[in-house]
Chains A and B, each alone.
Chain A
Amino acid sequence: MSALHLLVDMTKCRGSGMCALIFEDGIELDRFGFPIVHGELVEGRLRRRALRASRACPHGALDVVGSDGVPVSR
């Protein structure tokens, strides 16, 4: 499978922090409560977590995207 990663739309993100609660291995919050995402999502469990975090965002600000920047289905 192609490399996936998380992409935050900072213009939509309001810092609810839901993503970091759900996916603590891959997302940390900065001092202002906004997410910092790490690395590629290679392995199945991480990928499922990332998709859950994406679905949980109340502002639709978090996408799992392929290397072409296009979101995979949530």
Chain B
Amino acid sequence: MTSTALCTTPVLAWPDPEGAVLFRGGSARHDLAAHRSVFGGDEARDPSELAELIEHSGLLGRGGAGFPLAVKLAAARGEGVEPVVIINASESEPASRKDAALGQWRPHLVLDGAAAVARSVGGREVAIRLHRGARALEGSLRAAINERGSGAPRFAVSSGPRRFVAGESSAVASAVAGGRGLPLHKTVPLALKGPSGRPTIVLNAETAAHVGLLCSMELADWRASGPQGSAGTRLLTLAGHVRSPGAVVELTGPTTFAHLLAAQGVHATPNAVLVGGFAGTWFAGETLMGLDVSDQGLEPFGATLGCGVVAVIPPGRCALAEVNHITTYLASESAGQCGPCVGGLPEVAAIIDKLARGTARRRHLRRFEAIAEELRGRGACAHPDAAISMVRSALAMLIDEVDRHLGGRVCTDLHGTPVLSLGEQR
């Protein structure tokens, strides 16, 4: 089921259908020969040259947080101990497909990038972490590793349970170090000291693939290849009411959400759109459509493209029912380690459930704000903060809909199937 669903996932480039860089050559799997003929990228560079290249690129992490890769690598290099290098291809975000698409169609680009990062920090091994059951992805990566023979670095693939917080970087680092695979209490950044005691670099698969690209093309071309203000192209996953939910889009240049979505068969202005995944930001359709699809375009709203999920709720469907569905899911996906998260998220979910059912009053929203303030920054990981930020954006951005519900309008949508599907359907 997983693998067939993934195999039919379309990969497209937009706004320039011919401008794909990561997916140059179309969405067929590249074995090593095909990869080398399209990308080259097999000449050895010395570690300092690689470090310089990554620094000059300005590449930001593509897992959602957008942290500069060069800063992470410099921290790890400074410790004088061989770092642990991990590629995070677990893609916990239920609607996201971009890392799976990369691992499946461009495994060698991910491996090239991982090898370059490892080389730049003196790492001799790379661990690749997946969610269990991603058979097509795992098969593609293992086949690619076998094709590359016994050269450096050594790659080791492992997988763990499919749960939301298992993809958080410290949870991934914990699993690779033989721990429980849950988010860790961090007193220093992983890049300085991870759970193994060694500096630990956790790299999203798309970030790794971009390092692979940097080794195979001119820096200026790479820089010019993405959306506004971005270094490199950017992968999105479309979800909800679009022509092909799960389609992966490589953003090749500036475009608006209206154009992007029109190309996906969305012609009526959506009721609402969730940008950046389940930890992302809600927008009313009419607010979003004219904005540029880039971190810069979203910045005035305190939003980013995050992990790249763009989820469309069509006209006539209740957005708060979707917010409710996601909030309940996020509350249930707490690792169960930290009291404020265990206690707070179910309360938040209960308030949003009342709101969606038309039985909440202003005082319930005030209670939500009080809980949100109390929880802020108090989880070992960002899970509670992210859930609250998503809910807050819905309350602020979908204000007409919130008002109607506070006025007691009963939403018939609550009994239907949600537009956005959750992890179990993968």
Contact-residue bracket for chain A: 10 to 19
Contact of B374 among A7, A8, A11, A30 (CB under 8 A): A30
B290 close to A (CB within 8 Å): no
Chain B nearest CB from A30 CB (Å) reads 5
- Interface contact B340-A34, CB-CB below 8 Å: yes
- Interface contact A7-B187, CB-CB below 8 Å: yes
Residues of A within 8 A of B371 (CB): 31
- Interface contact A15-B380, CB-CB below 8 Å: no
Residues of B within 8 A of A34 (CB): 338-340, 343, 378
- Interface contact A13-B338, CB-CB below 8 Å: yes
- Interface contact A9-B339, CB-CB below 8 Å: no
The number of chain B residues with a CB under 8 A from chain A is 20
Residues of B within 8 A of A69 (CB): 187-188
- Interface contact A10-B344, CB-CB below 8 Å: no
- Interface contact B339-A33, CB-CB below 8 Å: yes
- Interface contact A11-B185, CB-CB below 8 Å: yes
A14 close to B (CB within 8 Å): yes
Residues of A within 8 A of B188 (CB): 68-69
- Interface contact A10-B187, CB-CB below 8 Å: no
- Interface contact B184-A10, CB-CB below 8 Å: no
- Interface contact A14-B339, CB-CB below 8 Å: yes
B287 close to A (CB within 8 Å): no
B2 close to A (CB within 8 Å): no
Q: How far is A65 from B188 in the complex, measured between Cα atoms in Å?
A: 12
With A30-B374, A31-B374, A36-B374 known as contacts, the answer to whether A11 contacts B380 (CB < 8 A) is yes
- Residue interface mask A31-51, B partner, CB < 8 A = 1: 111101000000000000000
Residues of A within 8 A of B380 (CB): 9-11
A70 close to B (CB within 8 Å): yes
B337 close to A (CB within 8 Å): yes
B153 close to A (CB within 8 Å): no
A74 close to B (CB within 8 Å): no
- Residue interface mask A1-26, B partner, CB < 8 A = 1: 00000011111111100000000000
Chain B nearest CB from A60 CB (Å) reads 11
B47 close to A (CB within 8 Å): no
- Interface contact B337-A36, CB-CB below 8 Å: no
- Interface contact A11-B187, CB-CB below 8 Å: no
- Interface contact B187-A13, CB-CB below 8 Å: no
Residues of B within 8 A of A12 (CB): 185
Residues of B within 8 A of A10 (CB): 185, 337-341, 378-380
Chain B nearest CB from A58 CB (Å) reads 14
Q: How far is A36 from B188 in the complex, measured between Cα atoms in Å?
A: 20
Residues of B within 8 A of A15 (CB): 339
- Interface contact A30-B185, CB-CB below 8 Å: no
Q: How far is A11 from B165 in the complex, measured between Cα atoms in Å?
A: 14
Q: How far is A68 from B339 in the complex, measured between Cα atoms in Å?
A: 25
- Residue interface mask A57-73, B partner, CB < 8 A = 1: 00000000100111000
Quick one: which of B27-63 are within 8 Å of A by CB? Answer: none
Q: How far is A70 from B193 in the complex, measured between Cα atoms in Å?
A: 12
Contact of B344 among A9, A14, A32, A36 (CB under 8 A): A32
Q: How far is A68 from B189 in the complex, measured between Cα atoms in Å?
A: 11
Quick one: which of B336-365 are within 8 Å of A by CB? Answer: 337-344
- Interface contact B339-A13, CB-CB below 8 Å: yes
Q: How far is A46 from B344 in the complex, measured between Cα atoms in Å?
A: 29
6 A-B pairs whose Cβ atoms sit less than 8 Å apart in the complex: A11-B338, A13-B339, A30-B340, A34-B338, A34-B339, A69-B187
Q: Which residues of A contact B (CB under 8 A)?
A: 7-15, 30-34, 36, 65, 68-70
Ranked nearest first, the 9 interchain pairs of A and B with the lowest CB-CB distance are A32-B343, A10-B338, A34-B339, A69-B187, A9-B185, A11-B337, A11-B185, A11-B380, A30-B374
